[in-house]
Amino acid sequence: MRRTSWTAIALLLALLLIGGSVPRSIPARAHIIKSAVALPDFNFFAWELNALGRIFFAGEKPLQDGLDVETQVKLVRAYFERAKKIGEREGELRRLIAEESPVAAELSESGISVQPSGLGFSGMDPAGGAGHSPAVAEAHRELAALRRQQAAERSLVEEVIQLQVREEIRRAGLGLAGFVWPPVQFAFIEPPLKLTVSPRDRISTLHSRVLQAEYDPVTLEESERAIEDRTDLSAHISRIGGMAVFPAMVVESSSLEWVLETVAHEWVHHYLFLFPLGLRYASSDDATTLNETVSEIVGAEIAGRLTRRLYDTAQPSAEAASGSNEDGSCACSTADSWTRTYELEQSRWERYGRPLPFEFQRAMRETRLHVDTLLEAGLVETAETYMEGRRQFLVANGYPLRVLNQAYFAFHGSYGTDGAASDPIGPMLQRLRAESDDLAHFMGRVRWFTSSSDLEKSLQAD
């Protein structure tokens, strides 16, 4: 018994020593990153309590009284027209204040002031207190009235959009026996920020966290620099358009088409969480890209159908979207699937002795491909110098990117249809959608994927 006891103690000590010798780089890195970020983590628990309380206990059931389709469409259109007017009035108010205050003008030009969202949320008080001219006071009163009206109708508009998106999902055959599950639920909110950290010598997500929604460019840049200085990694803090918590968070925009697409996109995430693809969301970069790209494709198609059916706004068809990859092939290198189109267009323009006109997606994709080439060759500093030069080029062409680095591509590249992507998952999924009988057939195939190899096998089977 004594020998057994000593053996057990020795084994326990060995296990403790082994545990102590395990590399602690991951928790240590996470702690260093968290301490370097000036913004606190987003409180998801408080958000869920508030959002679910609104749904179940607020007693807001306005559609039970009945609103015909025409009335619903008018209500939604008026809401988004008002959102646009709010954005215009906020810009006008900032201009008036800047003209009256040299200090405010200087801050505005330097980008130090926190920019309002234009959503009707009380992120700032543009009047800035007493001492302003009657024009500023009048503009502020008008803006406050618009925001009050927007706030009064927000819950009803959310419910109408949920109903419309749910009906379009049902029409697409994505429900179960005519019943859409999970339910379409979202709330307009200024959503949190997303921190992405990548190695410098390759583009990959090493660490990510969700931060409180306080968009101040100076604070974000200080946090990014602090992370980079302390870890020698690449960091990027980005705004996001939505998040697939439940209810989904969606940025309130003046673009109805964009909101419909985002609501549908987040619902696809909710749906995929019931299947292997969604359950493996963050298990690898490929799994994340598969999830995000499927949600992009399906969300855009659902929103396009809904827009054409109810709002009569021109929207590219799913066939047109997928037709850009008519010669896409599984047997291609990472770069080939994206470079073919660019080289074809470049050759057409060179025949006439003119440069290719600027197009953001193409410029971003060209940048990503060259960065991949430089990093694969081990030229990290050259790649970083090149990215800064390209950022300035994009800014000069009207796209004011604050940061363009490895972490930027790690975040935006997870959307396979985005210009920041470079792997072939996006074109391959678009091809699979084109070869599927309909949207329900496409979703029935992709929801069981667990890796990009499943996508390749599915295409090869066709």
Q: Which domain holds residue 361?
A: 163-312+340-461
Q: Is residue 366 domain-resident?
A: yes
Domain-embedded: residue 99: no
Residue 288 token pair:
């994340």
Written as six digits, the tokens of 43 are 């409180």
At 53-81, the pLDDT tens digits run 776 765 545 565 568 889 999 999 999 99
The answer on pLDDT for 51 being more than 80 is no
DSSP assignment of 409-456 equals: HHHHTTSTTSTT--STHHHHHHHHHHHSSSHHHHHHHHTT--SHHHHH
DSSP string, 258-276: HHHHHHHHHHHHHHHTTSH
Residue 338's Cβ-count burial label (10 Å; 0-12, 13-18, 19+) is: buried
The average confidence (pLDDT) of the chain is 77
Chain segment 100-127, per-residue pLDDT in tens: 654 444 444 444 333 333 343 333 444 4
- The answer as to whether 170 is a domain residue is yes
- In DSSP terms, 352 is beta-bridged to none
Report the pLDDT value the prediction gives residue 97, as an integer from 0 to 100. Answer: 67
Tell whether 141 is covered by a domain: no
What is residue 426's predicted lDDT score, i.e. its pLDDT? 83
Give dist(CA 234, CA 203) in Å, integer.
9
Q: Does 272 have pLDDT greater than 90?
A: yes
The reply to whether 380 falls in a domain is: yes
Q: How many domains does the chain have?
A: 1
Q: Does some domain include residue 125?
A: no
More confident residue, 96 or 17: 96
Q: Is there a domain that residue 289 lies in? A: yes
Instruction: Indicate whether 79 belongs to any domain.
Output: no
